Structure 1
Amino acid sequence: MLVSASFLSEGSSLLFLMRWFRGIFLITCLVTTLVIVTAAIYARKEGFTESWRDAIEREFEKRGYHVEIGKVTLGAFRGLVAEDVRFYLDPEQTEEVAFLNDVYLDVDLSNIFNKKQVLINTLDVQDAKLSLPLDPSKPQGRKVKIEKLSGRVVVTESVIEILKAEATFAGIELRVKGSLLRSSEGKDQEEEEQVSEERAEELAGRRRQLLKVMKALDSFNFPGEPPVVDIEFRGDLDDISTATAQAKIRAGTFRDKKRTYVVDSLSADVEFDGLENEAEITELILQDKKGRLTCSGKWKQDGNRLDFSVDSDADLASLIGLFWEDKKLGEVVFFNPPEISVNGYLELDRFGEEGAGFPGEMLGEFRSERFVTRGSVFAGIDFGFSLAEDRYYLRNLRLDHKTGVAFLNLKYEPEAGDSAVQYQTEIKLDPKVFRPFFNEEGRKFIDSWSFDDTSSVYLAGEGGGPEWDMKTWRNRGVIDLRNFRLNGVPFLELETEIETEEGVQYFRNVLLSRKEGKIIAELAQNNVADKQWEVKGVVSTVHLVEGASAFNRQLGESLGKYRFENPPTVRLAGTLDARRADEVGDESRRTKVELSFESQGTALYDFLGKTLTLENAKGNVSIDRSRVHLTSLTAGTFGGNFELEYDATNVRSPDRPFETTLSVTGVPLEAVTKHYGDVDAIKGSVDTVFSLSGNAADLSSLQGQGRATISNGHLFALPVLGPLSKLISKGNGSQENAGHSVVNEATATFQIENGVLKTNDLVALAPSFRVRAIGDVSFVDQSIDMEAVVNTRDQLTSAILTPVSELLTFSGTGSIKEPVWKAKHISNLGKVPAQMISEMTNIPVEGLRKLGQGLFKNQASRAETGGETNTEVLPLKKLFQRREVE
């Protein structure tokens, strides 16, 4: 029992002691916890002492990093936290490289108390913010901001390893992992300074590139999931250029903020090999709503050269517009994206060099269906091409249009001198589709041609020159056109050989055909700069006016006065002024042409205000500036012959000055007077030659002279003597003419002064009497002022003839259409017996009576002579100086 009691007593003491120790332990743990929590809170809020920061900064500096830590705190779960960490490029901390708000430090504190050393094992970043100044010398300047930065970095003396890092940069998610080796060997101060300078220069270049990337990224909008870039790298920190890296880029929908073009997706795999100093795009795929672009390439630092290969059926024009603004890109609109396949290389250092040409070489194929440019819609285009610096090639280009097809081979080699530009082409479509691509002069030339659905076009040519200015090119080819219009004039075909040199076009062996005939030419030379044509060996059997109007509308208008029933044969040589009317202005045209024509059939020609009908006309025309000279025109007219020279000395003058010479042989007078005077009762055959000059617009300006002969007619074949002839013919009774009024011959010479025809030797001969006349006929007011004497043709003495002559002397007044004849002198009428007068004049006594009745008729009979009664006796003009006896 005692043992038991003693044991119980000792057990109670032990239990108490255990309880006491447990209490002490709990209190100690509680105090320790409170101390630790208080220290942690203090460390979190206030940070460790400056000695801790210095120790950590020295650890970074030993490893080659220059940092400044704002404070070091204790994280609740991650340990030490370095806040407001700034990384510098130099020990003096003048150029800031980066700024991090929080960095978790995994450190070894085993030597912290005795050696004041902090060994950093890893750096952790969680949802931190990284700021990189673009200019390290200006920390307050523009910065690159990276948000949501998370990752773990293992830092040893020999390796910096990023186990995993994630961040957001300019709306792009970055995922990075990799390692960088560090040399454990120290460098002397001079070497460190040199390395520092090299790094500074390299970083400056990287920042400039980064700035360009930032600007480019700022212009894009990513409405869907943000793009993701995965980067994995390996390298040597002392020689970063030897690093290797792989990047994978994946992006969904994005677009330029200023444009409507949308990229549906983008994926790319890129590799960089620093040891070989090259990068490779193993695959790049871009997808839009219209197609896909695939690309691969390799970049080499040696020469900064990029070799590439591209295949695309995406909207390439819009895609290029994302990076390169050029208004010309908008000139071409494709209904469906073109197919492009390109291989080549680019020398990137040459970009931006002025006048350097294309910085590399490129060889490819281009194919497209319908597209529109400058208002012209084409059915398709297909060609091969190559570019190499200043050299350009287009091979087997085919251009389709609803009107036909065109082919082209083009080469440009500037070192080839005069043959720098060379081409070959065939065109089988309406040339008007190219109108929008020409200058104003070219458009006007194309506008002069028109084609329809029945037309066919074939143009083939080759040539070239020293530069792109087409005026300097030499060309040769052939032209074959069917069913077309030139300046509105229709033609069935055109065939010619063409050459051009130094702005001059040569058309040789020209054949133009119409339904009625052809135009052939040995040479037609067009001086484009002077706007002047020179033609040689032209023979035309087409309509005269339309044939000329096709080439020169003004020439066609000037030839409009010659109207042929059948197209004449025309021969032409000379120069033609091709300037427009507004270009000519008030000066004369520079046309100088010799033209001859010959026709079978009738031709119409305007002469003296009336239209003449000419038969088998032929002639020659000389045109010299404003002068149109019909040097000769021969034709049949009114059954006789007609010869004319007509010189329009200035067709541009409103006065229309002219000079003409006319010769008529065997022309029936009744036809002429009917045509010009609407008088058809006259008969006779007329021969005449006269010359005339003046202004066609002013009859009073007419001047001229000539002679005329009328044979085998009646006395009244002379219009102004018609009433006098009727008086003499009254005595014939029922016998027509009775042989008394038939005029075998009538002759006269005349002058024309100020529009008035004057004659003083008009003589009309009948078998038994003679009529002599003198006077004026005005073309201005159509008035006449004449005197006439009727005399016998028998061999009588002057004494006997004198009273008879005075008896048959008359004066004529009035108008050409209505002349008025009156007795001039009747004092000797009673001195001569009527029978004697009748025998002397071969006028029957009854006729004399009728003559008297005509001379003294009453008012009721005035209509027979066409004039009014006038009892005034006018003095007789002296018609003859002496009388001649026949």
Structure 2
Amino acid sequence: MLRFLRRALFFAIVSFLLAAGVYLTTASFHERWHGFVTGELAQHGVHLDFERLAINPFGGLVARGVRVYNDVSKRHLVASVDRLNLDVDFGSLVEGRVQIEGMELLHASVALPVDPDRPDLTVIELKDLSARALLEGRRLEIRHAEGLLSDGLHILISGVLELPAPSPDQQGMSADQRMNLMREHREQIQHGLDWLARFRAPHVPTLSVKVSGALERPDEIKAELLFQADGLAFEDYVWNELVAEAEYDGGFIDLKRLHLRDHLGIMDATATWRLGSDQLRFRLTSSADLPGLARAFLNNEGLREVVFYEAPQLALEGSVLLKKKSPDDMLPVNVTGSLDCGRFGSRGEVFNSLSLTLGATPQGIYVKDALLKHKTGSLVLNVMHHQEMGFKAELLLRMHPTVFLPFVLLPKTREIIQRFEFNDDSQVDVHVSTAGPKLNLRESPTSGHGVIRNFRYKGVPFESAEMDLAFLGDIQNYANVKIQRPDGPAEAELVFVNDDDNEKWLKLVNVRALADAAGIVRAFAPKVADQIERYRFSAGTDVTANGVIGYKGNPQLNDYKVAFKNPVGGAHYVLWDEDYPITAPNGEVHIVGNMLNFDFNGRLFGDTMHAKGAVNLTPGVRGYDVVVQAGRFPYSVFGKKLPFEEVRAEVRNRDGLARIDIAADVLGGDMTLKGTLNENREPNSYDGELRMNALSFHKFAQVYSPGNESVGDISGHFKFAGRMNDWKTLKGGGALIIVNGNLLALPVLGPLTPIIGAILPSPIKGYNVAKKADCTFEVSDGFIVTDNVEAESSAFRIVSRGNIDFIRDDIDFNAEVRMRGLGILLFPVTQLLAYKGSGTLKDTRWSPRIFGGGNNDERKPPTEQELREAQRIGGNPAKPRVNASPPKQKALFGN
């Protein structure tokens, strides 16, 4: 029986518990207690609703599908929680009252809409949230709250909050005001989370928050925040350590400490900001890789080119303006600071250090005492840009400007810098200042002074250059220029440059050099320098240049003169590939457009010399005029220097076809040479005519046969054609006449005269004086060929024919001699008066034909066809060839 009673009691208790459990999980229990719970929480200022309420078997109530609202109207959703445990007093619950003592979340998910009016849009999510809070009256104590905010931030929350008053009549912020404030805070939180999502980290960063204050007055809530992260990375930049400590007090944010550490150093910063304020105050010191940080966040490829070998030291203090007061503001900051950094490199250049102080306001910025050091020197810069005061800058450059070439983007600036070449001994000292209404160097006048030593400009070497500088836009002005070149000094009153794209020119005013004449001019006018360089002026030549030079495709602007003078020096003049030294050169070069005009005086071979002409410098055009006059001009003819005097040579070239006209006095007579030279084909071809008139036979013999001088004169002409540097192509013909000349002085026939004289009765006065000697001749294939050399004296008459191989200097002549008026029989053998000539022009050997003679290795003379072509060119009448043969017996007795 007792056992039965115990079982019955146990069954009743279990049945009651099961029934209670079923009841507590049914809709009936939810409907009965829903109002009690929401009402109780509303008394504490917490307005919520939930989908289902049940008793937790382990104690308390469990609310599922919880929605928290801003106020009693439940129009604005503040948060959504999937599950909320409520600690209740079960004694009160049995009595039909609900007394909530605390709340707990275990691995719950919380959704916080950014805009409570549109909860379907962006939502801030808290996952795996576990929290424990005690509720005592209007006091909510958060003992511990921990969760994951949007998968990117581990958050820890603790603190004490005062819940809103249940009565709307109590003082405090209105529901709409609270809503607007919450919306603003959540937007900022969402922006922060979006920004944080861009980072990578091996561990989730942690944010610890400790709060206190009244929820009814959210603008007065206080919070302490601590953010910690290790190995936080953004693109290629990594923070090894990041710690941020901040306080929030009623809308005032105080960043007490921001500590960053990267591979170079650390950065520490503090900042303060009141919500809604347009100004954030800060202080920062750093030895971290700020360019690396900046290039990561600013995505600037230029910053990626900077590499620091030592940590840069940066100190900044001031405020950041979050809203522009004026659309014309330059920068939204009020800041001062300094920067010091050691070695760094960029675009292949390594700099030793950089230091500066700086400041910035919305109206302007300044950089003061900026000092950049490089192995070649240093740069000091002060610059200011202000809305009202305009732009001002001062620069002291003591390093090679070519260092900045990799950083210059403007083509004009690059072109100017590239004109210079520096070496280890080069020195630069340039001080310039500029000012203007705006930050535009082209519109800001710039002036200063510069000294450069040991450099090259456009390839021209300079030991030093000192000048006053002035720039404005495309205009460059170099005044009071003093230059020292390796071969002497130079100076200029003014060099004025217009570098406009449409009209590039420079003006030279009194540019003067006591140096290599071409050297200083080459820096400004390379083509003119090429012309002057041909003269090879000696050092100390006084050169002056004045006028306007067009460049970069603007030769039509050319109108300038270059004058030169050296009373004791020398120069050289090249004529027909011969180099002639000139003393006391004096003249000028005048360039107008593409035409170079020159007028040159000096002394040549101890007498006066003058050259004048013009050269067309247009690319692809060959044209020039040259007139040369010389009082004396020795020139080698047949191995002897002939003293040409009063020489006048005129050459005119049009499109490569040169016309030559030369006249001179020589050996007491005169000569002319006229012809053409075609430079349009290779080798150059030529043709012309040489004429000699009444040359003194006496002077001729003094040169070619000293001791055999006599009276008489020589005349002749030679028409010819050929190709340069190829004597075998020379063809033509001419004639030669000698009157009253000494036969002993004649080339070729001279050595024959004594042989003839040996068989004459002695003495016969004047046997060697030719009353007349003449011949016609042809030139072809390297030979001079004649069939009718006739020389007649009072005692005999010589008839000769043969050829001269002037390439090999070899002769082959036959001669016949007839006696005149002697009336005697000399020899019974007629061959004794027929002779054979061989040897060279200088050493002609004659022998009777009975003994043979001639050269054994003779080159064959021209053919009949070649001689006819030479006759056509020379203008000689065609005549049959006469074979050399012994004279007839009757020819020995004269006529």
Q: Using structure 1 for the length normalisation, give the TM-score.
A: 0.76
- Residue aligned with 1:528, SS: strand
1:394 positional shift: 0.6
Please report how far the alpha carbon of residue 215 of structure 1 lies from its aligned counterpart in structure 2 after TM superposition.
1.4
1:656-712: CA deviation from partner (whole Å, max 9, x where unpaired):
322122222144xxx32x2xx5x33354452233433234944xx4154x64323xx
Residues 783-792 or 100-109, more deviating: 783-792
Match of 1:522 among 493, 518, 536: 493
The partner residue of 2:287 within 300, 313, 337 is: 313
Report what 1:248 is aligned to.
225
Alignment map for 1:708-723 (pairs within 5 Å): 708-710=664-666, 713=667
Aligned residue for 2:445? 474
Q: How many matched pairs?
A: 768
Structure 2 equivalent of residue 485 of structure 1: 456
Task: Name 1:376's counterpart in structure 2.
Answer: 349
Aligned to 2:126: 146
SS of structure 2 residue aligned to 1:442: helix
CA contact (8 A) 1:658 1:696 kept: no
Pick which of 167-176 and 401-410 moved more.
Answer: 167-176
Structure 1 residue 260: Cα displacement: 4.2
Conservation of the 8 A alpha-carbon contact between 1:784 and 1:816: no
Alpha-carbon distance, 1:847 to partner: 12
Within the alignment, does 1:97 sit opposite 2:78 as a pair? yes
Q: Relative to 1, partners in 2 of residues 1:791 and 1:508: Cα closer, same or farther, differing over 3 Å?
A: same
- Tell me which amino acid in the other structure corresponds to 1:747: D
Task: State how far apart, in whole Å, the 2-side matches of 1:693 and 1:407 are.
Answer: 59
> What aligned pairs does 1:576-591 form with structure 2 within 5 A after superposition?
576-579=549-552, 584=553, 590-591=557-558
Query: Residues 221 and 502 (structure 1 numbering): CA distance in 2 closer, same or farther, change over 3 Å?
Result: closer
Q: Measured at CA, do residues 285 and 756 of structure 1 come closer, stay the same or move farther in structure 2, by a change above 3 Å?
A: closer
Q: Which runs of 5+ in 1 are unaligned?
A: 1-18, 714-744, 794-803, 837-845, 877-886
Distance 1:245 1:25, change over 3 A: farther
Is 1:746 the counterpart of 2:711? The answer is: no
Letter in 2 for 1:370: R
Q: What residue identity is the alignment partner of 1:500?
A: F
**How far did 1:483 drift?**
1.8
Partner residue in 1 for 2:56: 75
- Which AA in structure 2 matches 1:643? H
- Give 1:689's aligned residue: 648
Distance 2:295 2:580 in 1: 72
Is 1:84 the counterpart of 2:84? The answer is no
**Contact 1:531-1:578 within 8 A present in 2 as well:** yes
Q: Distance in 2 between matches of 1:651 and 1:779?
A: 30
Q: How does 1:260-275 map to 2 (within 5 A)?
A: 260-274=236-250
- Aligned mate of 2:585, from 605, 617, 620: 617
Distance 1:204 1:186, change over 3 A: closer
Question: Secondary structure at 1:686's aligned position in 2?
Answer: strand
Give the CA deviation at 1:225: 7.1
Partners of 1:577 and 1:226 lie apart in 2 by 68
Give the Cα–Cα distance (whole angstroms) in 1 for the partners of residues 222 and 834 of structure 2: 137
Letter in 2 for 1:569: D
Structure 2 match to 1:702: 659
Where structure 2 has 5 or more consecutive residues not aligned to the other structure, the ranges are 678-685, 699-709, 724-729, 742-768, 798-815, 823-829, 845-860, 879-895
- C-alpha separation in 1, matches of 2:482 and 2:695: 58
Flag the 1:483–1:33 CA change in 2: closer, same or farther, 3 A.
same
The CA distance in 2 between the partners of 1:163 and 1:299, in whole Å, is 29
Give the Cα separation in 1 of the matches to 2:292 and 2:672: 91
Q: Is the 8 A contact 1:253 1:262 kept in 2?
A: no
1:184 deviation in Å? Answer: 4.9
How far residue 815 of structure 1 moved from its aligned partner, in angstroms, is 7.8
Matching residue within 178, 181, 195 for 1:202: 181
SS in 2 for 1:229: strand
Q: Is the 8 A contact 2:142 2:157 kept in 1?
A: no
Residues 321 and 229 of structure 1: CA distance in aligned 2, closer, same or farther (over 3 Å): farther
**Secondary structure of 1:471's partner?**
helix
Deviation (angstroms), 1:395: 0.7
CA contact (8 A) 2:488 2:539 kept: no
- Structure 1 contact 769–790 (Cα < 8 Å) conserved: no
Contact 1:160 1:182 in 2 (8 A): no
Q: For 1:179-194, what aligned pairs fall within 5 Å after superposition? A: 179-187=161-169
1:547 aligns with 2:520: yes
Residue among 656, 659, 680 paired with 2:639: 680
1:347 aligns with 2:321: yes
Separation in 1, partners of 2:286, 2:416:
39
Contact 1:824 1:875 in 2 (8 A): no
Map 1:151-230 to 2 at 5 A.
Answer: 151-155=131-135, 158-169=138-149, 170-187=152-169, 195-224=174-203, 226-230=205-209
Q: 1:736-815 to 2 correspondence within 5 Å?
A: 745-747=668-670, 762-765=693-696, 771=713, 773=715, 775-778=717-720, 785-787=733-735, 789-791=737-739, 810-814=775-779
Q: Give the corresponding residue for 2:682.
A: none
1:90 and 1:302 map into 2 onto residues whose CA distance is 24
Alignment match, 2:509: 536
Matched, 1:559 2:532: yes
Equivalences for residues 617-636 of structure 1 within 5 A = 617-630=585-598, 632-636=599-603
Q: Is the 8 A contact 1:157 1:182 kept in 2?
A: no
Q: Is the 8 A contact 1:47 1:72 kept in 2?
A: no
What is the CA–CA distance in structure 1 between the aligned matches of 2:482 and 2:781, rounded to whole Å?
54
Give the corresponding residue for 1:332.
306
Counterpart of 2:218, as a letter, is I
Identity %: 20
Report the 3-state secondary structure (helix = DSSP H, G, I; strand = E; otherwise coil) of the residue aligned with 1:253: strand
* Partner Cα distance (2:780, 2:617) in 1: 33
> More helix per residue: 1 or 2?
1
Distance 1:196 1:348 in 2: 28
CA distance in 1, matches of 2:461, 2:772: 71
Alpha-carbon distance, 1:627 to partner? 1.8
Distance 2:206 2:663 in 1: 109
Q: For each residue in 1:537-562, what CA deviation from the matched residue of structure 2 results, as whole angstroms up to 9, or x when unmatched?
A: 11122223333334444333333322
Is 1:436 aligned to residue 406 of structure 2? yes
The Cα of 1:214 is off from its aligned counterpart by 1.9
* Greater fraction of residues in strand: 2
Q: Secondary structure at the match of 1:349?
A: coil
Deviation by residue 1:337-359 (Cα, 9 ceiling, x = unmatched): 211110010122349x9875321
Determine if contact 1:808/1:823 at 8 Å carries over to the other structure.
no
1:48 alignment partner in structure 2: 29
Give me the CA root mean square deviation. Answer: 4.3
Shift of the 164–756 alpha-carbon distance from structure 1 to 2, 3 Å rule, reads closer
Q: Provide the rounded CA distance (Å) in 2 between the counterparts of 1:98 and 1:546.
A: 86
The whole-number CA distance in structure 2 between the counterparts of 1:100 and 1:446 is: 70
* Greater mean deviation of Cα atoms: 751-760 or 634-643: 751-760
Rate the CA distance shift 1:543–1:609 in 2: closer, same or farther, 3 A. same
Answer whether contact 1:626 1:652 (CA < 8 A) is retained. no
Q: CA deviation at 1:816?
A: 13
Q: CA deviation at 1:195?
A: 3.9
Look up the equivalent residue of 2:67 and give its one-letter code. Answer: R
Relative to structure 1, the CA distance from residue 319 to residue 658 in structure 2 (aligned partners, 3 Å threshold; closer, same or farther) is closer
Secondary structure at the counterpart of residue 327 of structure 1: coil
SS at match of 2:302: helix
Output the CA distance in 1 between the equivalents of 2:489 and 2:817. Answer: 66
Seen in structure 2, the aligned counterparts of structure 1 residues 649 and 223 have a Cα distance that, compared at 3 Å, is closer
Provide the residue aligned with 1:290 in structure 2.
264
Contact 1:309 1:342 in 2 (8 A): yes
Which string of whole-angstrom CA distances, capped at 9 and with x for unpartnered residues, describes residues 857-884 of structure 1?
76646976999999999789xxxxxxxx
| Alpha-carbon distance between aligned partners in 2 of 1:432 and 1:411, rounded to the nearest angstrom | 25
Residue pair 2:215, 2:221 contacting (<8 A) in 1 also: no
| 8 Å CA contact 1:222, 1:253 repeated in 2 | yes
Deviation at 1:574, TM superposition (A): 2.2
State the AA in 1 paired with 2:616: T
State the alpha-carbon separation in 2 of the partners of residues 357 and 447 from structure 1.
34
Deviation at 1:407, TM superposition (A): 0.9
